[in-house]
Structure 1
Amino acid sequence: MNYQISALTLVASLLAGTAAVAQTAAPSGPPPEAQNSAQPANTGVDEGDIIVTATRRESSLQKTPIAISAFSQATLDRQQVRDITDLARFVPSLQFSQQGDQSAVVLTLRGIGNDSAYTEVADPEVAIYIDGVYSPRSQGASVLAYDLERIEVLRGPQGTLFGRNATVGALSFVSAKPNFDGVSGYVEAIAGDYQRFGARGALNLPLSDTLALRIGFATERNDGYADFQPAPNAPGIDPAAFVTSGKKYYARDQSSARVSLLWKPSDRLTWNLSAEGFLDKGAPVIGLLQTPRPGTKRWSTLSDTAPDTDRYSVAVRSNIDYSITDGITATYIAGFSRIGGSTRTDADAGALPPTGGFDPADPTKLLFLGGFGENATIASRFDFMSHEFQLKSAGEQAFDWIAGVYYSHEKNYIRFDVDQRDGYRFGGTRAFVGSFIQANRQIDSLAGFGQLTWNVSDALRATGGLRYTHDKKEDIGGRNVTAFGCPATGPCNVNIFGQFPNATAAELVALLNAQGGAFSISNNDVKGSWNKLSWLARVDADLAQDTLGYASVSTGFKGGNIQDGGETTDPETITNYEVGIKTRLFDRRLTLNLAAYYSDFKDYQVNQVRNTRDSAGNVIASQIVTENAEGATAYGFEAEAVANFTDDDRLQLAATVQKTKLKTLITVDGRFDDAGNVANQRDLEGNELAHAPRFSATATYEHDFHLAGGGTITPRGTIHYETRSWLSFFNGDRTNRVVGGVPVNYGTDFDKQKSYSRSDFALRYTAPEDKWLLEAFVQNIEDGKIRTNASTFGPTRYAPVFLSNLQPPRTFGARARLNF
């Protein structure tokens, strides 16, 4: 407990120090450009405050009784936030991991998430919304942060108003909207090491008194961080099998553009319409050796598969607001998105290089000891559409209310191929090959919701909300085409990988077996439906001037899953208890937001052992399936503070103290080659959840130096610190693992991100009247090796080799921006 006490002491001392300095500060507020993530919002009373829509209506951030962080685009730019992975450092309790096969980002909030929720099979626990439209997959433009009005991060279940899969929270992206204030815009360029170059910009153009246009764009590219190692120099090994040049892993090459229209024919009707496109030609992330081989760098890989990403997304979003009367507003939100493309990645990550040499039992036979694996999304297309209709009160009334209905539909297609061999590409014996063709997976979600706030008095409010959700999922015609090892007779080199990309599963089997293959086919036809009532009860009160307190109990719901092989998994649920306080002190120079929570997470959808017992209770059969584990508990304390010591000095702080604990979960660690050996099952009860450090904090300080000519020089420093965290809920290995009859313990270090600090620094010059700026920056000054996951590779004859995806290394760059 000593480290917990130390962490709490650190938070308290930082906040106390902030208050002490603010108490002697001058009474005037900061300049408008100093507004940031924790600054209060404007309800028409306080000029310069940030507006949020966490309650599906505009309200002041400081008067919204929810744990929420809000970031303007200016703040995102200053903190070098390009996407949601960069955002995680600045939001209490938010963590992320990256997945290579699907180029996906997986989010964890308050310790709860699921690293496998990145395909059409599973949904995330943290929902992403863009202009009020749910984004079911994180592979598209939803990860980019450009030309935004703000990003809102809502912590805790949002099961009443947001609903769809906002089990532990939601990220809401609000794009910058057109306006009638005249022609304006900006262009920005950024350059840095690793051949980084990016450009961003926007143009606002009023077309008439009732119609306005806005165009925004962003491009980001950099070379990959992971160098290619030279091909092995071993007898019988063909160097041509290895990649030594070309696009590298961890490369980035993304571009996006958004066109927005605002039509306001009267004071009662407003229509915002946008269309967005995104293209990703970069490269996947890849597991790197946790312990590099002698003579190699950590940021390098012995790769026998060239990386490739060719993904796209398109989206159309519409939001119509109509004031039926002065007290009632109708809102219709609709959206369509399509995400598709392909990815190819090195599944073995060069963990086991082939050694060549001859078989001692047969000196004429070469051995290609090592391991080969390649994964590829040959093609994919995820279509999503949604409709939401709301009626809500407007203006000051005794009761504020909102009611609505929601419907969404997904239709997804993917073909995913796997090639695994004992050896290497040109000489290995085939171990497993498969093509997983899910031709028509559909998801329907229908909901009705309502929320009522009773304004008991000017200082006291009580809120209740309900949402009934009906989810349905089905796989129509999904098929797996697979082969294990080599056939007893016939060739072993019949290749499934990427072959006949437009063939159905039945056609693919026929074509391959005509060449002498030994492929079989299995079906995944399945459907399931689930219903759930989510609810919210909350009371909030103005405890003093500029001080809001609240207490709430809320629930969240994530629909069930369909699985390969025709099985289903029941939904996940959560109940969250929370109290919070939001206040501004010392003549409004200190903004302080605090929240404490306890979450009871139930029916965790996860791989585990299913035991079949006889009438006497004896286990007679076991298998690994995705089922509902008992769940977990999570509780913690979150703090956000902004102090404007003077007009020129600003400090921002975000901190979390948390603890998570699994309930009963009997499973086998699938990262090892004994994943199907139920003799190695163990109960993980009491383990911590992944990506949940006990303490984490980010502090940013900046100071303005005013020059005689009217310009400003601003140095800005950020430091992020975390205590150690686990990279999976296994929390390392234990002594009860048995391999070949021998007890084995792989320890815990491979599954742990040790405590670390990461520092960033920037120096910015802003011209008079904010017409242009120049900025130089360095990220991850320590060049820390920050891991986001832990994986293994190794055929059965080897001990596993441990791998991890990493956050970017130290990078340098400069940014220039022109406003007009």
Structure 2
Amino acid sequence: MTSQCRQHALARAIFAALITTATALPAAAQSVPEEGKTETRDASTLDAVIVTVERREQDLQKYAGTAQVISAEDTRALGINNELRNIQALVPGLSMANQEGNLEIFIRGVGSSNNTELGDPGAAPHINGAYIPRPRGLGGMFYDIERVEINKGPQGTLRGRNALAGTLNIITKRPDLEAFGGYVQAEAGNRDHRGGEFALNMPLGGWAAIRVAGYQVEKDSSFENAGRMQELDPAGIQDEHGARVSFLYQPDDKLSVFAMADMGKEGGTGYPGATVYTAAKAGYLPEDLDLRKIVYRGAQGTLDSTNWGAQTNVSYDFGPVALEYNASYRDVDYRQTNAQSEGILWPDRNIEPVSPANPGGVDYDNYSTQYWMTQSQSYIHELRLSSADDTRLRWTTGLFHFNEDQQVGYLSLVDKGRWYSGTEFTMPKVNGRSSAAFADGTFDVTERLRLKGGLRYTQEEKSRYGIGGNWALGLPGEGGDFSTRLGTPGFEPAFMKRPNFDVSNITSQAEMARFLLQGILAHGRNDTIQQQIGDVPNGGAFGCVDRPDIGGDTVDCPYQSWVQVSGIPAQQFGKSKFNFTDWRVGFEFDVSDDSLLYGLISSGHKAGGFNDTFDPKEIPETFKPESIVAYEIGSKNSFQMLDRTSTFNASGFYYDYSDQVFQDLAVIATNPSTGEATGYSLVNRNVGKSVVYGVELESVLRFPGNVMLNLNALWLDSEIKEGKVADVRSQNYGAGGITSIIDLSGNELPLASKLTFNARLQHTMELPFGTLDWQLLASYRSAYYLTQYNNRDVVFISDTAGTVDYIEGAVEAGFPDRQRARTTVNAGIGLTTLDGHWRVEAWGNNLLDNDISQKALVGSGINVRFLNDPRSYGLRLRYQF
């Protein structure tokens, strides 16, 4: 059977199952609850879950699409409230990882790992519906919330920008116009976890209210320093706090004004990764080792991040139409110094200090590391008009405008570098704009049949100016092993404090030396670069340094005549401009009052961008937006079981993913005499095409005795149909750094497990002294690949003709990228006193203590894993007033 026939057969089977479900269930759902019966957790009807997925408040069971809502109470009870990415345990198809503070969101295998200024997220994060362009510090917003909404599938018409995979929307608690109150909360747990949270709601005369909230949490790292420099703290130590103030003015049922300002601060030792490359080369699989034992040496990891913003929503109901204006501002200032390590520890590994007697040891006095800086200031304005809810045609139309200014800095230094000492990308001016007009509507054809449609036209513009490329020095003496110390304690990069970003006319040794020195705001205490090139800007000679820590008596002074500053970052400038149209069409059919059948075809785009600027003509200046057209058919049903209302929902979907961006490796410099490649750069190219399809099932079952069971299952299949790129794993430096070409066709998309299953059991019981409730969550996720290479063999070539030098398996070459199937278990139990004021909770997260790789960063000699949270548990005391 061909792939196309398989897809058609799957579609027919899904449609038949949905029709059967939709027509069979209502017969058992005709019993009506007794009039006036109170809707408690033991009631015969489910409490309506209200969402704003379609920019209107509606019952989740009436929403024609696939979405999930996670309440604040559930996240708190399961120990998820201190780490936003842990909600993926509750949502099949959702993957969240944190790399260098950037929260990467994938939904059903679709997302983006391009978190530089060149790219954008593929799943759109929001807070109270306001788009967040740089998902850094989202964890600092995860307190005093109402719920989190996760919408699956492209949302191009209603949510717009970069909602290719779907959206994640954090809804905060709004001020209450009537009740004075709030809460104070304290918690403690393992890893020296200490935290607190509070909220205070203050009505102002019945027509306005203010709500103030804040939190703080401190927690030790889940990583262990297994190296000899025990004074170094491991990456991952958390020190976070934040505050939020909200204001609501609502003098009548027509006018509503909401405003909010928030601030979050993150400190600690930065977001950790575990380098598994050397362990794999030594013959060990990552799953057979403790990935949290890291051989730290050199630079101490540090994090300093501030994220603050303000938003407002003004709406007025004129009767036939309502007018709404939304505005938001967000400012991100993120700075991190990566903790430097020699990878993870494996049995019998030699981690003694390097010496003449121990040449295979670890060079602890080495401060090679990376410095990151992201500053972003973004503004969003949206004006919407919408019809009343009681009309036959319900419509929404509006205008959207987004503007973001960024300043970006990245510096990678190689301490004790020979011939090469760093790579810098510093962009003082990066701008992105997006403007859109949209309209969406639902028309009642009959009392049971409704047609839906939407259209959105978007214009995107991006530009940047700055520098990017290598700091290259040729300073070794004959026989010397090392040449330059750079980045030792006290070193600080200049980044935006550089006096000059114009390198277009810099050609002399003096000018290049001056430019490199201007990139250093403060020299490290053991740095030598000032001594070595400090006199060159004024026409002086290169200084020769002969010290034990850079080779000692193996360095011959004075230097030979060929010493030089051989390279500085190149001028970077780029512009891109694209426009595209998103649309959706669909239907809703009420098979009965308790059963909805729907079908939907929708599109979504992720913004395009531009590549680093270099001379070679084969590097495209821009890359186009990615796009998805999604087909979905589903059924939502409520029915009576054991005299209680339960639900069963099912959907089948198919994605056509085109213009997919894969990163390629391009030659940017060659030796003029030999033609041998001497420089490379990663390039974004629209060379991919993929399909994603699957079935998702969800059920909420209620039993006597206040017992509730939530079941969620997702079967997902993905396949890359097109995509030829340079295999960055295969860079052969013995042959000038050349790489082989790999055809990714037939591979699965990264992070796309074939089967995900969640079961959550909840129970509430009344006791003489209060209410006891508990819940248990078990989440199974089948194996998945972490990169697009799918553990394929690595082919090393020796020339541009593609002559095979040798072939290694992915594991033997140091690049295993498959995560085994895992089950995680969370649990929580709480007791609320009879008066409702006091509550004590205990929680456990990842109780089986499974280490799960949530992302891999792979390159030449690089295989870094970013992991889940290990087992955590604790107690919480909350006073509600």
Normalising by structure 1, what TM-score? 0.86
Q: 1:536 is matched with which residue? A: 584
Q: Distance in 2 between matches of 1:457 and 1:743?
A: 65
Q: Report if the CA contact (8 A) 2:122-2:606 is conserved.
A: yes
Instruction: Summarize the Cα distance change of 1:327–1:663 in structure 2 as closer, same or farther, 3 Å threshold.
Output: same
Listed as ranges, the matches of 1:57-136 within 5 Å are 57-82=56-81, 83-100=83-100, 103-115=101-113, 117-136=114-133
Q: 1:641 is matched with which residue? A: 699
Task: Please identify, of 546-555 and 740-749, the stretch whose mean Cα deviation from structure 2 is larger.
Answer: 740-749
Instruction: Summarize the Cα distance change of 1:633–1:707 in structure 2 as closer, same or farther, 3 Å threshold.
Output: same
Residue identity matched to 1:766: T
Q: Report if the CA contact (8 A) 1:638-1:655 is conserved.
A: yes
Counterpart of 1:458 (choices 434, 447, 456) is 447
Residue identity matched to 1:483: W
The answer on 1:487 being equivalent to 2:458 is no
- Structure 1 residue 648: Cα displacement: 1.3
Instruction: Summarize the Cα distance change of 1:122–1:249 in structure 2 as closer, same or farther, 3 Å threshold.
Output: same
Instruction: Summarize the Cα distance change of 1:377–1:288 in structure 2 as closer, same or farther, 3 Å threshold.
Output: closer
- Structure 1 residue 282: Cα displacement: 2.5
Q: 2:430 is matched with which residue? A: 441
- Structure 1 residue 379: Cα displacement: 3.8
Counterpart of 2:806 (choices 737, 742, 745) is 742
Q: 2:624 is matched with which residue? A: 570
Residue identity matched to 1:600: D
Q: 2:193 is matched with which residue? A: 196
Q: 1:238 is matched with which residue? A: none
Q: Distance in 2 between matches of 1:283 and 1:817?
A: 29
Q: 2:498 is matched with which residue? A: 503
The answer on 1:691 being equivalent to 2:751 is yes
Instruction: Summarize the Cα distance change of 1:661–1:792 in structure 2 as closer, same or farther, 3 Å threshold.
Output: closer
SS at match of 1:789: strand
Counterpart of 1:752 (choices 818, 843, 847) is 818
Question: Per-residue CA shift, 1:273-332, capped at 9, x if unaligned?
Answer: 000000001232333255599999542211122111100011001011111x21200000
Q: Report if the CA contact (8 A) 1:318-1:334 is conserved.
A: yes
Q: Report if the CA contact (8 A) 1:337-1:385 is conserved.
A: yes
Instruction: Summarize the Cα distance change of 1:387–1:745 in structure 2 as closer, same or farther, 3 Å threshold.
Output: same
Residue identity matched to 2:247: L
Task: Please identify, of 516-525 and 631-640, the stretch whose mean Cα deviation from structure 2 is larger.
Answer: 516-525
The answer on 1:154 being equivalent to 2:151 is yes
Q: CA RMSD in A?
A: 3.6
The answer on 1:723 being equivalent to 2:785 is no
Q: Distance in 2 between matches of 1:330 and 1:383?
A: 27
Question: Per-residue CA shift, 1:341-374, capped at 9, x if unaligned?
Answer: 31011355536957624399xxxx9997799674
Listed as ranges, the matches of 1:573-722 within 5 Å are 573-586=627-640, 589-608=645-664, 625-671=683-729, 673-674=731-732, 677-709=737-769, 711-722=770-781
- Structure 1 residue 741: Cα displacement: 2.6
Question: Per-residue CA shift, 1:29-81, capped at 9, x if unaligned?
Answer: 9997859xxx99xxxxx884121111111111111112111122222222222
- Structure 1 residue 418: Cα displacement: 0.3
Q: Distance in 1 between matches of 2:413 and 2:167?
A: 37
Counterpart of 2:322 (choices 326, 329, 348) is 329
SS at match of 2:85: helix
SS at match of 1:457: coil
The answer on 1:299 being equivalent to 2:285 is no
Q: Distance in 2 between matches of 1:792 and 1:56?
A: 39
Listed as ranges, the matches of 1:339-418 within 5 Å are 339-346=332-339, 348-350=341-343, 356-358=354-356, 374-377=368-371, 379-418=373-412
Q: 2:554 is matched with which residue? A: none
Instruction: Summarize the Cα distance change of 1:448–1:758 in structure 2 as closer, same or farther, 3 Å threshold.
Output: same
Counterpart of 1:733 (choices 792, 800, 816) is 792
Question: Per-residue CA shift, 1:403-436, capped at 9, x if unaligned?
Answer: 000001000002211013xxxx5x5646440221
Q: Report if the CA contact (8 A) 2:476-2:483 is conserved.
A: no
Instruction: Summarize the Cα distance change of 1:337–1:248 in structure 2 as closer, same or farther, 3 Å threshold.
Output: same
Q: Report if the CA contact (8 A) 1:254-1:280 is conserved.
A: yes
Residue identity matched to 2:791: G
Instruction: Summarize the Cα distance change of 1:556–1:27 in structure 2 as closer, same or farther, 3 Å threshold.
Output: same
Instruction: Summarize the Cα distance change of 1:394–1:275 in structure 2 as closer, same or farther, 3 Å threshold.
Output: same
Q: Report if the CA contact (8 A) 2:730-2:796 is conserved.
A: no
Residue identity matched to 1:187: V
Q: Report if the CA contact (8 A) 1:327-1:395 is conserved.
A: no
SS at match of 1:77: helix
Residue identity matched to 2:854: T
SS at match of 2:272: coil
Task: Please identify, of 199-208 and 722-731, the stretch whose mean Cα deviation from structure 2 is larger.
Answer: 199-208
Counterpart of 2:205 (choices 174, 190, 208) is 208
SS at match of 1:225: coil
Q: Distance in 2 between matches of 1:222 and 1:593?
A: 39
Q: Distance in 2 between matches of 1:434 and 1:539?
A: 53
Instruction: Summarize the Cα distance change of 1:440–1:651 in structure 2 as closer, same or farther, 3 Å threshold.
Output: same
Counterpart of 1:266 (choices 239, 247, 252) is 252
SS at match of 1:76: helix
SS at match of 1:62: helix
The answer on 1:550 being equivalent to 2:598 is yes
Q: Distance in 1 between matches of 2:738 and 2:364?
A: 26
Instruction: Summarize the Cα distance change of 1:208–1:604 in structure 2 as closer, same or farther, 3 Å threshold.
Output: same
Question: Per-residue CA shift, 1:717-739, capped at 9, x if unaligned?
Answer: 11111111101111013153448
- Structure 1 residue 247: Cα displacement: 3.9
Q: Distance in 2 between matches of 1:545 and 1:647?
A: 27
Residue identity matched to 1:573: S
Question: Per-residue CA shift, 1:728-775, capped at 9, x if unaligned?
Answer: 111013153448933222349821110111112222222224322112
Q: Report if the CA contact (8 A) 1:129-1:171 is conserved.
A: yes
Q: Report if the CA contact (8 A) 1:81-1:145 is conserved.
A: no
- Structure 1 residue 453: Cα displacement: 1.1
Q: Distance in 1 between matches of 2:661 and 2:254?
A: 46
Q: Distance in 2 between matches of 1:762 and 1:63?
A: 30
Q: Report if the CA contact (8 A) 1:377-1:414 is conserved.
A: no
Q: Report if the CA contact (8 A) 2:779-2:824 is conserved.
A: yes
Structure 1: unaligned runs, 5 residues or longer? 41-45, 232-241, 613-619, 795-799
Residue identity matched to 1:264: Q
Q: Distance in 1 between matches of 2:864 and 2:371?
A: 22
Q: 2:240 is matched with which residue? A: 254
- Structure 1 residue 251: Cα displacement: 1.7
Residue identity matched to 1:726: Y
Residue identity matched to 1:812: Y
Q: Report if the CA contact (8 A) 1:368-1:428 is conserved.
A: no
Residue identity matched to 1:416: Y
Q: Report if the CA contact (8 A) 1:737-1:745 is conserved.
A: no
Instruction: Summarize the Cα distance change of 1:367–1:694 in structure 2 as closer, same or farther, 3 Å threshold.
Output: closer
Question: Per-residue CA shift, 1:626-656, capped at 9, x if unaligned?
Answer: 1112321101111222111124101112211
Q: Distance in 2 between matches of 1:371 and 1:430?
A: 19
Residue identity matched to 1:707: L
SS at match of 1:75: helix
Instruction: Summarize the Cα distance change of 1:385–1:252 in structure 2 as closer, same or farther, 3 Å threshold.
Output: same
Listed as ranges, the matches of 1:14-93 within 5 Å are 34=41, 48-82=47-81, 83-93=83-93
Q: Report if the CA contact (8 A) 1:500-1:508 is conserved.
A: no
Q: Distance in 1 between matches of 2:132 and 2:146?
A: 18
Question: Per-residue CA shift, 1:90-111, capped at 9, x if unaligned?
Answer: 11211122213xx111011011
Q: Distance in 2 between matches of 1:753 and 1:412?
A: 35
Question: Per-residue CA shift, 1:785-811, capped at 9, x if unaligned?
Answer: 1111234688xxxxx575422212112
Q: Report if the CA contact (8 A) 1:318-1:333 is conserved.
A: yes
Q: 1:237 is matched with which residue? A: none
Q: 1:235 is matched with which residue? A: none
Residue identity matched to 1:509: L
SS at match of 1:190: strand
- Structure 1 residue 337: Cα displacement: 0.5
